[in-house]
Structure 1
Amino acid sequence: MAYLTQPDYVKYVCSCGQLKPITSLYFCRHCLKIRCGFCICHEVDSHHCANCLENMPSSEARLKKNRCSSCFDCPSCFHTLSTRATMAAQRQAQDPAGGDAKVENKQTKKMYYLSCFNCRWTSRDVGIPDQSVASGGWPERTNPFLSRYNQLLDYYKAIAQQEKQEKLERERKKFAIRGKYITLTDKTGLTGAMARNIAGLPTSESGSSAAIASFTPSQASAEVDELPDDVYTKDVNLKQITSMSQRLASPEWQPSSVSRLHPLAKLLSIKRSQRCRVCDHNLTKPEYNPGSIKFKIELLAYYHVPEVKIISYETVKPGEKSALLLKLTNPTGHEMQIQLMQPEDLPPVEEREEPKSIEKSLEKSLNLEKDTSSYRAIERVAELGSSSRVTAPEATLTLAQRDDAAEYDDDAQQDTSDFILWRKSNKLALRLEVTTDAAATPGAPARAALALQYSYRNTVPPAPAAPQQAHHTLYTTLLLDLGVVSG
């Protein structure tokens, strides 16, 4: 017998066919489907620094190259640098009488430098002078190839703008119908570029053409700097040479020696919201405050789909039956009816989810194939080789609603049923029987497929024009990992 508490031993089949644990899935309350990371689109809500919690808009973050101006990372071990204070004495002043004697100035001034508490690296190690202010004012190095970089950036922006204009022209000619016009500009023949010319504004096409015309391509050179004479005879000190990760952390300079390491401006973090690709409703939406870890919307499958865990199982042998103990949990605040089924007994889905626009179809084509029919789940389980079959009881199980106060009650109610071990609040333990195929190869993974039919009460307020049903019967497919087939 083996006791398993890891959630990866029980994986749910997403509506697109992917296998994920319940902690990595989402549940859309509008289309009533389980979604994984491939079935959602991500949107950046805000940028902030994880160290000082400074919040900034997207335009400002773009100008700062997604880096914080007051927080730095250690270039040696990449931990956050701390500002240390020290008392520095001022220089000695000359004698006011004009003699050669010097008068000591006992006044001291507080100075600041950066230090790493992990590897003890300091900004003094590379010759960065101490600053008189604690935040900001640290010297910034100028990239020697900045002008060339800006020229390349403008060139590729012009190329992208030109390709976008050509794409819009092709789409306009493709969907143009004689006598019918999509927009007013198609009827009058007034394009966006002509409107900007009439208004006296500079056109983007002229700027793109100028950037392309003034671009100077790079020229290959056969002249290569020669290696120093002592490159093969000089002793190598690994403590003075930077590692590959340290060089790639500063792609502009790529320092080869430790003495040229400079503090790295800390990268900004983001708060993102996630939407369902089918119905465009939010699945998760965090609070705007960077110091808050709460969510305005948090539609995780862990809070809406019944959770299945493996308590224990017997050794799986070919052609024999073994016992399997499962625990079912109702995470919702309403009573839930659950029935165990076989994956092939699931009713077929009549309608498939199709994208609503061309952009969504393009995004869908770039990812894995999305198929919401129940047969896709059966095929997915067959691809992984389900060598065992769970004997599911025909009875309907009733799970009580979630009660946080009942978590402190240690008394579990024993049940007289043949397959129910105990009940406790919103939890239920089952004793099932697993039959392994006689043709199973010893040493191969032992997997068993199982389907759940459960009731769900939708708490989304219905729209006035289209009343929505509150009670639904939903289905999901599981894949249980029972170790390996014993010989």
Structure 2
Amino acid sequence: MAYLTQPDYVKYVCSCGQLKPITNLYFCRHCLKIRCGFCICHEVDSHYCANCLENMPSSEARLKKNRCSSCFDCPSCFHTLSTRATLVQPRPDPAAGDAKVENKQAKKMYYLSCFNCRWSSRDVGIPDQPVASGGWPERVNPHAARVNQLLDFYKAIAQQEKQEKLDKERKKFAIRGKYITLTDKTGLTGAMARNIAGLPSSESSSLAIANFVPSQASAEVEALPEDYYTKEVNLKQVTSMAQRLAAPEWQPTNAARLHPLARALSVKRSQRCRNCDHNLTKPEYNPGSIKFKIELLAYYHVPEVKIISYESVKAGATTSLLLKLANPTPHEMQLKLLQPQDVPPREETEPTLDKSLEKSLSFEKDTSWTKVIERQPALPTASRVLAPDTSFTLAQRDDAAEYDDDTQHDTSDIILWRKSNKLALRLQVQTDDTAKPGEPARVAVALEYSYRNTVPPAANAPPRTDHTLYTTLILDLGVVAE
């Protein structure tokens, strides 16, 4: 017998066919389907620094290259650098005639230091700064002009290709008396529209392409030093690959040329269902808050199944299996075990528009990427659970009852015990003779459960009642024993 507490031993089948534990799944209350991270849309709500909790809009984060201007990471171990203060005695300036500085007070200066690897900005010759935040010297990329020239060149090419595609479509669908675009009807030219929108004109794009100077390959390569193969290598002075890739603009090879790295910004994202376009999770805008405005996790809506214990699975034998089922909802739930092939097909109810409204609207937006590809994975067939033909009632969740020792032991052949909203079942697993020893012992089982929708109905819509939903689980029971 084995006791399992890891959640990966029980995986749920998502609507897109992925196998995920219940802690990695979401539940849409509008289309009543289980969603995973691959069948939902991810949207960035805000950018913030995880160290100083400074919040900034997307436009400002784009200008700062998604980096914080006041926080830095250690270039050696990538931990957050701390600002240290020190007192510096002013030195005499012979040019100014200062021979003594006894009456002058010590000046407070600041430098960056890492508490993990003891790296400091003084190690690479960065001068101390008179202010604690900001004012640190920024390194200038020697190839910045060339990089900007390449960016302008490729932007001009993209603009030119877009204009050629638009002209080709305009010639293809040109019909007298018909206006394909708004510019054809109002007489607003493309150049005027680009100037109003602040975009570069086609003439500037053509000029950028014409003035672009491509790179030339050189046959002459700088020779290596004479002591390149004989000089002893000091690994403490050579940077690692991770340290070089952390600064792609310079890629320092010597540890003495490491400079502080501006800390990358973090994002708060919201997740949206692709089928009904409703939010599944939406965090608070404040970066210091860890709460969610909307948090539709499957852990709070779908019954949770855990493996208490099981016997070793053998080919051609019937073994016992103990499962624990929990009701996470505040409503009473009816639950029944089924075979995966007995689950009825789900009827799709897509929202439809009024025909008069549908004729007046022109849907030019491509929404093919938002469609969820639903498929069924290959379920194990060598072993199956002998599901009882009875329904079970699970009480609603009560947080106060978690601390009460009111476990009720049942003498029936199926129910082992009850406690609050939890239920333990005694089941049997039957394995075919075709199972080979050493193969993974996996078994599939389906759950039929009742769900009470708490979403308020729309206007002139019938009231929503309890729904009967289905979900399929894959239980990992180790390997087939000999």
TM-score with structure 2 setting the length = 0.92
CA distance in 2: counterparts of 1:203 and 1:459, whole angstroms: 51
The aligned residue for residue 136 of structure 1 is: 134
Aligned mates of 2:3, 2:254 — CA distance in 1: 52
Corresponding residue of 1:481 = 476
Match of 1:437 in 2: 432
CA contact (8 A) 1:401 1:426 kept: yes
* C-alpha contact 1:459 1:470 (8 A) present in aligned 2: no
Counterpart among 295, 298, 304 of residue 298 in structure 1:
295
Q: Deviations over 1:70-108 (max 9, x none)?
A: 000000000000000111101136699x7x964534510
- CA gap 1:410/1:50 in 2 versus in 1, 3 angstroms: same
1:73 aligned partner: 73
Are 2:367 and 1:360 aligned? Answer: yes
The worse-fitting range, judged by mean Cα deviation, of 6-15 and 201-210 is: 201-210
**DSSP-derived class of the 2:193 partner:** helix
Query: Structure 2: 5+ residue runs without aligned partners?
Result: 353-362
CA RMSD, Structure 1 to Structure 2 (Å): 2.6
- Tell me the CA shift for residue 463 of structure 1: 0.8
SS of the aligned residue for 1:91 comes to coil
- Kindly state the Cα deviation for residue 465 of structure 1 after the two structures are TM-superposed: 3.8
Q: Is the counterpart of residue 424 in structure 1 residue 431 in structure 2?
A: no
Change (3 A) 1:77 1:386: farther
Q: Is the 8 A contact 1:381 1:479 kept in 2?
A: no
Q: 1:89 to 1:295 in 2, by over 3 A?
A: same
State how far apart, in whole Å, the 1-side matches of 2:237 and 2:3 are. Answer: 50
SS in 2 for 1:155: helix
Any conservation in 2 of the 1:112–1:134 contact (CA below 8 Å)?
Answer: yes
Counterpart position of 2:37: 37
Q: Pick one of 208, 212, 225 that aligns with 2:209.
A: 212
Q: What SS does structure 2 have at the residue aligned with 1:78? A: coil
Does structure 2 retain, via aligned residues, the 8 Å contact 1:87–1:109? yes
Tell me if structure 2 keeps the 8 A contact 1:448–1:479.
Answer: yes
Gaps of 5+ in 1: none
The CA distance in 1 between the partners of 2:194 and 2:323, in whole Å, is 71
Mapped contact 2:274–2:370 kept (Cα < 8 A): no
Task: Give the partner amino acid of 1:420.
Answer: I
The 3 A distance-change label for structure 1 pair 153 and 453 is same
Q: Secondary structure at the match of 2:118?
A: coil
How far is the alpha carbon of 1:57 from its aligned partner? Answer: 0.5
Question: Partner of 1:449 in structure 2?
Answer: 444
Task: Give the % identical residues.
Answer: 75
Q: Which residue of 2 aligns with 1:350?
A: 347
Query: Matched residues in 2 for 1:390 and 1:357: separation?
Result: 50
Q: Distance in 2 between matches of 1:425 and 1:29?
A: 25
Amino acid at match of 2:9: Y
Query: In the alignment, residue 271 of structure 1 is paired with which amino acid?
Result: K
Contact 1:93–1:103, Cα closer than 8 Å, also in 2: no
Q: Who is 1:2 aligned against?
A: 2
SS state at 1:359 partner: coil
Contact 1:92 1:105 in 2 (8 A): no
1:92-111 equivalences under 5 Å are: 92=92, 102-111=100-109
Distance 1:42 1:62 in 2: 18
Match of 1:261 in 2: 258
1:175 to partner: Cα distance: 7.5
Q: Kindly indicate whether the alpha-carbon contact (under 8 Å) linking 2:194 and 2:201 is maintained by their aligned counterparts in 1.
A: no
1:89 aligns with 2:89: yes
Please say if residues 340 and 450 of structure 1, whose CA atoms lie closer than 8 Å, have aligned partners that are also in contact: yes
**Paired residue total:** 472
Determine the C-alpha separation between the residues in 2 that align with 1:174 and 1:95. 79
Indicate which of 373, 393, 407 corresponds to 1:412: 407
Q: Deviations over 1:155-183 (max 9, x none)?
A: 22222333344455566677888876565
Alignment of 1:320-331 (within 5 A): 320-331=317-328
- Please say if residues 441 and 476 of structure 2, whose CA atoms lie closer than 8 Å, have aligned partners that are also in contact: yes
Question: Which among 307, 310, 335 is matched to residue 310 of structure 1?
Answer: 307
Deviations 1:328-383 (A, max 9, x none): 1111111111111000001112338799986331455xxxx712xxxx43xx133x
Which residue in 1 is equivalent to 2:358? none
Instruction: Give the alignment of 1:274-293 within 5 angstroms.
Output: 274-293=271-290
Residue 84 of structure 1 contacts residue 115 of structure 1 at CA under 8 Å; is this kept in 2?
A: yes
CA distance in 2, matches of 1:2, 1:225: 66
Q: Is the 8 A contact 1:193 1:203 kept in 2?
A: no
CA contact (8 A) 1:391 1:434 kept: yes
How far apart, in 1, do the equivalents of 2:459 and 2:292 lie?
27
Residue 150 (1) aligns with residue 148 (2)? yes
The answer on whether the counterparts of 1:81 and 1:114 sit within 8 Å (CA) in structure 2 is yes
Q: Give a deviation string over 1:292-311, Cα, whole Å, max 9, x none.
A: 00000011111111111111
Question: Structure 1's 171 and 325: CA in aligned 2 closer, same or farther, altered over 3 A?
Answer: farther
1:61 alignment partner AA:
A
